[in-house]
Amino acid sequence: MIRVIITDDQQIVRAGIKMLLKEDPNIQIIGEAANGFELHKIIEENNFDLILLDLNLPGINGLDVLKQLIYENPKLKILVLSVYDEKKYAIRAIKAGACGYLNKNVSSEDLIEAIHQVAKGELFINKNTATILAHQLKEKKGNLHDILSDREFQIFLSLAQGYTIHDIADKYNLSPKSVSTYRSRIMEKMELKNNVEIALYAVKNSLIDP
């Protein structure tokens, strides 16, 4: 039996995942969490085999939750199930310690296969993520956005989507001054002049929809 904890801020999404996983009698849902704090509590109180983790969590975002969990226990088996497509966060999540990355439009068969694979201690890499990895290895310099830290990349995407400094500060629990500092650092690293160029770069590289 594979004991799974589902972490997603939307109750309706958690319910949907549970319904999908009921197709496999060898998977048991032993807990649900809506944020990182609830997840830590469930981890402390239960025996489990695998964590399904969304990246879009309130408070401490899922990527930071992932890093913290892996720091506390590098042997944890965490499978990211996110609304973000692989091009945005798959490689970053795997580098942070995730055992696999899936987009939420995945079929129930693929999700169940991924859970079984990760539970066995294997890394789950689907075709999209494998293509991104191969592309990065082929290009010596990689993409400009690859040089950004995880926090810088999150703020970069928010700026590209038209969020204001104050919106981003509220979203990531930062001060507006800190966000402005990140913005300056992003533009310096990527040699971009303003938010328009940030948005154009993101669209050109398929990081956001036009």
Tokens of residue 124, six digits: 């789950």
Give the pLDDT band of residue 142 (cuts 50, 70, 90): low
Average pLDDT, the chain: 89
> Does 76 or 130 have the greater pLDDT score?
76
Burial of 70 (0-12, 13-18, 19+ CB in 10 A): middle
Is 0.85 surpassed by the pTM of this model?
no
Burial of 39 (0-12, 13-18, 19+ CB in 10 A): buried
Domain ranges of the chain: 2-136, 144-204
The residues facing 28 across adjacent strands are 3
How far apart are the C-alpha atoms of 175 and 35, rounded to whole Å? 21
Q: How many CA atoms lie within 13 A of 62 on its CB side?
A: 27
pLDDT (tens digit per residue) in 57-94: 888 888 899 999 998 998 999 999 998 878 778 888 98
Q: Among 135, 149, 132, 133, which Cα is nearest to 186's? A: 149
How far apart are the C-alpha atoms of 49 and 77, rounded to whole Å? 7
Give the pLDDT band of residue 167 (cuts 50, 70, 90): very high
> Highest mean pLDDT range out of 27-36, 126-135, 192-201?
27-36
> Does 135 or 125 have the greater pLDDT score?
125
Q: Among 147, 157, 136, which Cα is nearest to 201's? A: 157
* Average pLDDT, integer, range 169-195: 91
Distance linking the first and last C-alpha atoms of the chain: 44
Lowest mean pLDDT among 15-19, 29-33, 75-79, 187-191: 187-191
Domain range 144-204, CATH architecture:
Orthogonal Bundle (1.10)
The correct answer on CATH 3.30.1360.30 for the domain covering 2-136 is no
At 37, the amino acid letter reads F
- So what's the pLDDT on residue 207? 86
At 112, the amino acid letter reads I
